[in-house]
Amino acid sequence: MSTLIDKERFRSEPEARALIARIHDLAREPVSLMEVCGTHTVAISRAGLRSLMPGGLKLLSGPGCPVCVTPLAEIDRAIAASRLPNVILTTFGDMMRVPGSESTLEKEKAEGADVRILYGPLQAIEIAEENPDREVVFVGVGFETTSPTIAATVVEAKRRGIENLSVFPFFKTVPRALDMLARVPGRPLDGYICPGHVSAIIGSDAYLPTVREHNMPCVVTGFEPLDILAGVVMLLEQAETVRAGGAAKVENQYSRAVTPEGNRAALAIIADVFDECDAEWREIGVIPMSGHEFSERYRSFDARDRLDIDVPEATGPSGCICGEIMLGMKIPTDCPLFAGRCTPREPVGPCMVSTEGACAAFYKYDRESV
């Protein structure tokens, strides 16, 4: 038996206290850091770190929740697919409650649509084999952590000659987005807490262009409380250097999982199955070369071509500031809808739906401590 904390050495209270003291020491002037990964947002809230940070240090949540950055039109498309009589729509769980223009996958399921929650994309192959007369569609949402597993699924489906499986390629990639978000007018930013899992795939060198172009400190950071505190210390030290006229760099706090060059096998299968493409990020707009679509060899798996779907123009919720939250301009408690009209039970915007969304994390963990 162990306790809720298994990774003791990443959660020692004396060490945490020392790092927090160092953070208070370094953050005497106002400073803003952005965590670009939803898992970080949740980890920070779950460990109660916001309650321990100095007042001048802002931890902003970036566009790091895959559900949150999926455009409304793409959600509408998945919902429309679920309504087709011959389709079994498969998805990861956190897409179920995301509101489209008029409905959600959860509501469609209750109305009788065949929508199934998967725990891993390979389950879609089993469903396709068990239902040869039906079209199995997977809603491919996620970052570089998800796309290799979908790529492997598609490669395996092709090897087995499965013809009734297709995927909506709504994938996003992180580095170009960081590049674009480094400088948003009116929003100071002093460094990126770079995502641990994504970096394990793409490697810490992927952030070099952002560092070079914007002189923006980048620290690849793990997910345990001490990892995050150590990452914040490294960023604050870099920010001090940058303020004094020095150069920013990429640092790797999470070296037990992340290498400079990344996971070669995963990158190879991504390169085989996908091509880079421009992608629309919800509430942010099109970011060049920030998405994945199927390469020529695997184009037949693209659900957009396979299904005859025509969705009307999407209409988003009014009054919701998810866009500004994902740009790091505001925090969830700034939103007039937060915890009133918009709750995890009746979410208005995407950041309240996903468990990794900034609003959901604030609602669950920080409502009273912020």
Partner 1 sequence: MKRDGKIRMAHGSGGALMHELIAEVIVGRLGNPVLDALDDAADLTDLTGETIGRGRIALTTDSYVVQPLFFPGGDIGTLAVAGTVNDLSMKGAKPSYLTLGLIVEEGFSIADLERILDSIASTAREAGVVIAAGDTKVVEHGTVGGVILNTAGVGVIPEGVVVSGERAEDGDAVIVSGTLGDHETAILVARESLRLDEVIESDCACLNGLVEVVLGACPDVHVLRDPTRGGLGTTLNEIASRAGVGITVEERAIPVERKVKVVCDILGFDPIYMANEGKVIVVAPAEDADGIVEAMRAHPLGRETTVIGEVGGRRGVYLRTAVGGTRPIVMLEGVQLPRIC
Q: By the criterion CB under 8 A, which residues form the site for partner 1? A: 1-6, 11, 13, 16-17, 20, 38-39, 42, 45-52, 66-67, 92-97, 117, 119-120, 123, 141-143, 145-146, 197, 225-226, 229, 343-345, 354-356, 363-369
Cα(164)–Cα(254) distance, integer angstroms: 40
- Radius of gyration in angstroms for the set of CA atoms belonging to the chain, rounded to a whole number: 21
**Exposed e or buried b per residue across 74-98, where buried means at least 16 C-beta atoms within 10 angstroms of its C-beta:** bbbbbbbbbebeebbbbbbebbbbb
Cα(77)–Cα(21) distance, integer angstroms: 49
Q: How many CB atoms lie within 10 A of CB 227?
A: 23
> Mutual orientation of helices 38-46 and 225-243 as an angle, nearest 10°?
110
Nearer to partner 1, 72 or 216 (CB): 72
To partner 1, the closest distance from the beta carbon of 252 in angstroms equals 20
Nearer to partner 1, 171 or 301 (CB): 171
To partner 1, the closest distance from the beta carbon of 183 in angstroms equals 26
Nearer to partner 1, 47 or 211 (CB): 47
To partner 1, the closest distance from the beta carbon of 296 in angstroms equals 26
To partner 1, the closest distance from the beta carbon of 242 in angstroms equals 27
To partner 1, the closest distance from the beta carbon of 49 in angstroms equals 6
Nearer to partner 1, 117 or 155 (CB): 117
Nearer to partner 1, 172 or 306 (CB): 172
Provide CB contacts within 8 A for 204, sequence distance 6+. Answer: 194, 218, 220, 250, 252, 258, 259, 260, 262
